[in-house]
Structures are given as C-alpha cells and as structure tokens.
Structure 1
C-alpha cells in the first residue's frame, strides 16, 4: 500500500493544480468578456418619405447602427403586415399607426407623435405666388398641366391634399387633373423636374428641394392635423423611439421644417 501512496498523492496534487488553473483561466475569460464593449444593437426603421433628411441626421446621433427605409406610409404599413423585418415605424398619418395596432403588429403603448407638419402648394422657382386659392385660380395656374400629389388613399400627404381641395370646393373639378404618386417625394420630384406645374407637399419637402418654391401655405384647419406617429415593433425599436424624443432630435426636426 505504501508503494502506491506517493504516485496517488502526486496525481491528486496534479489534479488540484489543473483544477486551480481551469478556475484561473475561467476568471481571466470572464474579466476579458466584461471588459469588452457592449455588442451594438442595429435597428431597422421604416419611415415616411418626407422624413428623409431629418431622420438621416437623427440616425447619425444614435449610438448604434440605423438602417432607414423610406416610402409612403401605406406601403410601409403593408410591408410590416407582410412580415418585413422592421424594429420601428415613423409614419405620416395616425390612421396607418392605428391600422398596425389593430393587427397586433406594434408593441403596446409605444405609439407617440414625434413631429407635426404643414401642407403647402409648390411650383417652379419662377412661378408666381398664389395668395388666394380657388378652383378657377388653380386651373389657370395649371394651364392644362397636372397637380402632383400623393395617392389620395395610400399616401398621407395625398389624403391631406384631398381634404384641402374638398375644403375649398375644388375637388370635383381638379380630381381629373391630378398626377398621384406613391409617396410625397415623388410628387415633389415631378414639380422639381417641371413635369407638373403645381404640387401639394409638406413644407419640409419644399425646404429640401431648391428647384421649387412655396406658392401658398395651406391653413392648418383646412384639413386634418398633420402628425407623425412613431411606434416600436421590437424592443430594439423601443430604444430608438426614446431617442426621437430627445432635445437633440426635436431640434433636428424643427430645423428641417417640422413642428415639435
């Protein structure tokens, strides 16, 4: 028995040493892991086309990577409903946010309004301002051309435009003179390229395009209030929504022509 005790003791000592080394290595790995920076949480945001410049700038201030996808609000909402991988949405009409909410596609109690807007009538830089708008004046300014605006049912800017034209009793006549587009930026482009003499867009759009000028600012009470609702679809999206409410983000919205 005695002859075997020394090797056994040596083995036990070696086992204890190996156990101590494993424990030490584990502690080193834990320390190194804790010292590493937190893994970035990239966020994908679907946003109304009119928010392009403002959200691009806001995204640059966000601590993680942001992928922005711009289109008309109706198109974006339907893409989310079809399973598109978005973490948050920023739309141009509350109806589309409510449409998503009714389908259980956004996180409860995350919908918030992040900005407001104003509808304006635009034309070429050399076009004459139109202080008073009615059917005859608009038809004269069109001079056989078309009025560019977002699609009346799927694009919020088009919905507001229709409400305004109905408000001034011009819809029945002008509805046959429209060039309706998939998003408000496409309507802006038609006027900027002189493919349409007049367009109805947001003031923030007009500010972003030097090839157009505002011919008439439309009163806020001539259509439903223009609000931009945002909502989270994932927890990552919730973090981005909080960023949209910071003073820095609000200042950027204001700089680009949006109301707080």
Structure 2
C-alpha cells in the first residue's frame, strides 16, 4: 500500500510538471533509477549547457518508475537499473519502437558505515549473519527493487540467504538503503558500487562476484507517450560518446 501511495504521488508530481507551463512541456521528462542521481544530473547539466531546455529528472526505484510509465505518466524517457523492469514496460506496450538500448553497467557491493571495523571476504558461505549480530542488512526490497533483486540472487548463490533473509531491512530504493547505512542505523548493506562512491559516510567491505548475480545492465528507452521534441535527441545524447563519458566519471561502466 505504501509503495502504491508513493507511485500515485510521483504520478501527480509529473502531471503538475507537465502542466506547469510551455517551457516544461518542451523539456524531456526523464524517469531515472535512483542510483543515477548524480550522474544523470551531470548529464542534464551538460545538455542544458548546449542550449537546450533542462530535462525534468524524476528519480525513484525502477519498479516505481515502471508503474508510472504504465499508468501513462507524462514522461518521455525511462532509464531502468535492470532489464526486468524495462521488459515489464515493453510487454505492456509503453516503449517507443526501436528506441531501447543498453546504456550502463554497475557492480554490487557490501558496505558498512565508514567508521565500522567489520571485515568480511565475500565467498560461498561467508559469515554474513554473524557479522550482522543483532543488526539488519539494508538493501532494496528484494521483491521489487533491482539492487535488492541482484542482492538476493548473490546471497542465494553464495549460500547465505537463508541465514539473513529474516534480518533484511527492505528499503524502497537503493538510495534509501544507502541512507540507512550512512546514518549507522544498520551495520551492513548492499548497494551499487556507484552509490558507495557517492556517499563518503560508507566504505566498501567487498564486491560481489559478477557470477553471483545476473548482469547489472541499465537500459534506456523513449516512452510511447513522449511529447517533448527533445526526447529523442536527449536519449541519443545519453548514448553518445560524450554522454557515456559523463557516466564513467561517476563510476559506471558503459555499453
């Protein structure tokens, strides 16, 4: 119910943005995964510096954004943190034909508050539950949020999920999980490497093997309901060498 309420609220915000005036109506509205906040903002800054209207950026979990796209939200571009939620929107018929493309890659990491002394080697059967003690493991909701889905896959393949499943602090997005760790409310959490890089109050304990989870791929696509004349040019900019260089500065891999 809480996720539904947040999705409705986001939809109303986007409606308000569309109706705010002709300038916003010309600017592309971008639904972007929460982990893209700094990088996508930098990309929007560069686009604006070229003389274009500044894109309207809306950040949330890919699951929430996918539901907004399917509800007909007045948005132009969707950048998901996984293929699954982009597939979801595609199957529902809300992607513009032949505009979907892989954009970025990432890594999954185990992090702790910066002042933590926890040391763990990530390998099959590693003692994660013991390291948590009476604390909880922060991660995106493993039933919906891409970072949480990847995290559950990794912990399952490493054989430790059964021991920690009951200790998970399910966050509404990867950035919400990151905030719990940064504030010291949990001893450990799972986020993307780029999230850890963006938050000085956490440190990386270890990186999950790429073989322990599905490939982390961020696809981008123009939405069928796109209304901005800049929607397709901005999508192409994100996929250009110049656009990808911006994302690489923030630690993302590019496709």
TM-score, length basis structure 1:
0.82
Trace 1:29-108 onto structure 2 (pairs within 5 A): 41-62=26-47, 63-108=52-97
Is 1:151 matched with 2:145? Answer: no
CA distance 1:131–1:81, change in 2 (3 Å): same
Matches of 1:236 and 1:248, distance apart in 2: 17
Whether the 8 Å contact between 1:40 and 1:64 is mirrored in structure 2 is no
1:212 matched residue in structure 2:
202
Q: Which runs of 5+ in 1 are unaligned?
A: 1-38
Q: 1:252 Cα deviation (Å)?
A: 1.4
Poorly superposed stretches of 4+, deviation over 3 Å = 132-136
- CA deviations on 1:169-203 (whole Å, 9 max, x unpaired) are 11112110100111000000000001111000000
Q: 1:248 Cα deviation (Å)?
A: 2.0
Is 1:173 matched with 2:173? Answer: no
Trace 1:3-18 onto structure 2 (pairs within 5 A): none
1:119 matched residue in structure 2:
108
2:242 matched residue in structure 1:
248
2:21 matched residue in structure 1:
none
Matches of 2:159 and 2:220, distance apart in 1: 33
SS in 2 for 1:179: strand
Q: 1:166 Cα deviation (Å)?
A: 0.4
Is 1:203 matched with 2:196? Answer: no
Q: 1:40 Cα deviation (Å)?
A: 9.0
Provide the alpha-carbon RMSD of the alignment. 1.6
SS in 2 for 1:230: strand
1:228 matched residue in structure 2:
218
Matches of 1:207 and 1:198, distance apart in 2: 16
Larger radius of gyration: 1
Is 1:130 matched with 2:120? Answer: yes
Equivalent of residue 109 in structure 1, options 98, 104, 107: 98
Paired residue total: 222
